[in-house]
Structure 1
């Protein structure tokens, strides 16, 4: 059967390709037709531009981007018990593809009834800021600074508020993103380029926020966060600081202040069994859907456009040239290879 996909064959080039996919399933495999997946601009553009400390920098090209997806089950293996044909599912780390085959107990999670698959495609991505907020262990009334208001930052701000943080202060260079953050519940939205930015944060938090999430991956933003955060404060490193092109005075801003730096890369938690690790990815998917159903987490406003995967080359070329790319770009796979395998 035919499978379409998106590939980065070389630096700063994206292609829409087709290839053959063997529809034969092993006993525990599930065949899924993808409906939507989300472009994660930060991670994918880092690989697109071949930045240091990326998957591409280690494994080289070709690279197959995409990791936060939704679809429906078409066929199951003889021993599959968790899913049946027609079930809606979240697929993690499956790439931008029209069809995928996955083991039933790995990277597949059921989507509850009543949830739009467009929103379900955000579930895996939202598990990243959930990890950041969980690891901060925010206490009621603690201030939280969210540096960066891209996809992850806009979700992190909402989650910090749900967790009991007050005030929730966000920062971003884009006036449009700051305005959206306020609509989504942030208490204050500041421009980090303003000369009085740090003073303003200190004023709003009576001496510095107890917690902070650095989402930009920019070393200058991390420097600002470390200057702002209160003594014995906790800083979650959610953004991937791939390029350390500015020295940080560790003694002054971390050691003497007693600051806790918390790495929150998704690879440092389990997929399913929480065991002694805390919450798993599956736990966070469950929480995501609970918040969506209850109307406590707003995802629709962060989806900025829906495009055809066939336009991948132009889409990546466009967002790869923008300093502030569109927030949530959904790839609509519903009509691509849709008559194959069903």
Structure 2
């Protein structure tokens, strides 16, 4: 029996790496030996710390972005073979057994360090699609963490101008500007609102994408949107928000759109609502063509044995770290 290693949240705030027996795949599954897995900081740290709107059930096995090599295939799996480089929506582990429907080949020319961003890129893309951005519309993205950074780039690719990145950490704003934001602003500055109105011609943004998951940011998003604007709730809020719907929504004629990744259609794409598989094809094309730039968003790659330290850095040093990949090659 092959022994593998995996990340486990034992209790609130407690991260461990444990060994486990690797089981063979069933007839519709494949066994993947992971190369890298990418931490999704917002969701995973919220789950780790048992914040509101999370399961709060432990032990928990986090992660949903892995890239690796297929080692074994089930007897009914025809679309893959041993040795294929693939991505999967699977947990942080050295080995994962996954249904073939949740596994996708990595196209030739896409590096593993880029491919591992596939899930978070698709999450950002479905949010930007729901905004239905028209060429020339102004878009503000609140929160330049990993999903916000991706949404900022995708908004620009969708024709938004200006694209305005907002964050409390200046290091993140600098990265956003290097990767395509036309304007970056820190909401903590005393002149923030004046500058925001200046760059949006006094109107506010036609589209505001909230990507922080902070309940308090909802009110900021509503305030920054123009009359008849759209507010896209891309971040998963961890708590309750108090909103004056008359002044902030009703009177302004706002459209608020929930953009959780789980509301995708499963089998067939339609306008603004694409399947994960169809979005992934687009993401791979964007990565291969370098139109979507993710390498600068990868703050570090560390051995899986140092996983607790990775979560500590992402939780306590947000100004330095956007996301971290775990390296499983020596497992």
Name the TM-score, length of structure 2 as normaliser. Answer: 0.96
Structure 2 counterparts to residues 95-110 of structure 1, below 5 A: 95-105=91-101, 107-110=102-105
For residues 272 and 166 of structure 2, the distance between their equivalents in structure 1, rounded to whole angstroms, comes to 30
1:141 aligns with 2:136: yes
1:121 aligns with 2:116: yes
For residues 211 and 237 of structure 2, the distance between their equivalents in structure 1, rounded to whole angstroms, comes to 9
Give secondary structure in 1 for the equivalent of 2:43.
helix
Assess if the C-alpha contact under 8 Å between 2:23 and 2:97 holds in 1.
no
For residues 267 and 240 of structure 1, the distance between their equivalents in structure 2, rounded to whole angstroms, comes to 11
Structure 1 stretches of 4+ moved >6 Å: none
Residue 230 of structure 1 deviates from its aligned partner by: 0.7
For residues 188 and 276 of structure 1, the distance between their equivalents in structure 2, rounded to whole angstroms, comes to 29
Q: Residues 256-294 of structure 1, C-alpha deviation per residue, up to 9 Å, x if partnerless?
A: 111111111111113554368831111111111101111
Structure 2 counterparts to residues 37-52 of structure 1, below 5 A: 37-52=37-52
Q: 2:72 aligns to what?
A: 75
For residues 267 and 5 of structure 2, the distance between their equivalents in structure 1, rounded to whole angstroms, comes to 29
Assess if the C-alpha contact under 8 Å between 1:272 and 1:283 holds in 2.
no
1:335 aligns with 2:317: no
Assess if the C-alpha contact under 8 Å between 2:314 and 2:323 holds in 1.
no
Q: 1:226 aligns to what?
A: 222
Residue 203 of structure 1 deviates from its aligned partner by: 1.7
Residue 48 of structure 1 deviates from its aligned partner by: 1.2
Assess if the C-alpha contact under 8 Å between 2:310 and 2:324 holds in 1.
no
For residues 53 and 90 of structure 1, the distance between their equivalents in structure 2, rounded to whole angstroms, comes to 28
For residues 314 and 303 of structure 1, the distance between their equivalents in structure 2, rounded to whole angstroms, comes to 16
Residue 217 of structure 1 deviates from its aligned partner by: 1.3
Assess if the C-alpha contact under 8 Å between 1:198 and 1:227 holds in 2.
no
- In structure 2, the CA distance between the partners of 1:21 and 1:271, relative to structure 1 (3 Å rule), is farther
For residues 187 and 275 of structure 1, the distance between their equivalents in structure 2, rounded to whole angstroms, comes to 30
Q: 1:263 aligns to what?
A: 258
Q: 1:339 aligns to what?
A: none
Name the TM-score, length of structure 1 as normaliser. Answer: 0.93
For residues 299 and 314 of structure 1, the distance between their equivalents in structure 2, rounded to whole angstroms, comes to 22
For residues 162 and 152 of structure 1, the distance between their equivalents in structure 2, rounded to whole angstroms, comes to 15
Q: 1:85 aligns to what?
A: 82
Match of 2:274 among 267, 273, 279: 279
Assess if the C-alpha contact under 8 Å between 1:143 and 1:168 holds in 2.
yes
Match of 2:210 among 207, 214, 223: 214
For residues 329 and 152 of structure 2, the distance between their equivalents in structure 1, rounded to whole angstroms, comes to 31
For residues 271 and 2 of structure 1, the distance between their equivalents in structure 2, rounded to whole angstroms, comes to 34
Assess if the C-alpha contact under 8 Å between 1:34 and 1:71 holds in 2.
yes
Give secondary structure in 1 for the equivalent of 2:97.
strand
Assess if the C-alpha contact under 8 Å between 1:132 and 1:236 holds in 2.
yes
Give secondary structure in 1 for the equivalent of 2:35.
strand
Assess if the C-alpha contact under 8 Å between 2:229 and 2:254 holds in 1.
yes
1:313 aligns with 2:308: yes
For residues 53 and 215 of structure 2, the distance between their equivalents in structure 1, rounded to whole angstroms, comes to 14
Q: 1:8 aligns to what?
A: 9
Q: Residues 73-105 of structure 1, C-alpha deviation per residue, up to 9 Å, x if partnerless?
A: 11111111111111111101x110111111112
Q: Tell me, which stretches of 5 or more residues in structure 1 are unaligned?
A: 337-342
Q: Residues 46-83 of structure 1, C-alpha deviation per residue, up to 9 Å, x if partnerless?
A: 01111010132xxx111111111111111111111111
Give secondary structure in 2 for the equivalent of 1:240.
coil
For residues 64 and 326 of structure 1, the distance between their equivalents in structure 2, rounded to whole angstroms, comes to 22
Give secondary structure in 2 for the equivalent of 1:119.
helix
Residue 21 of structure 1 deviates from its aligned partner by: 1.9
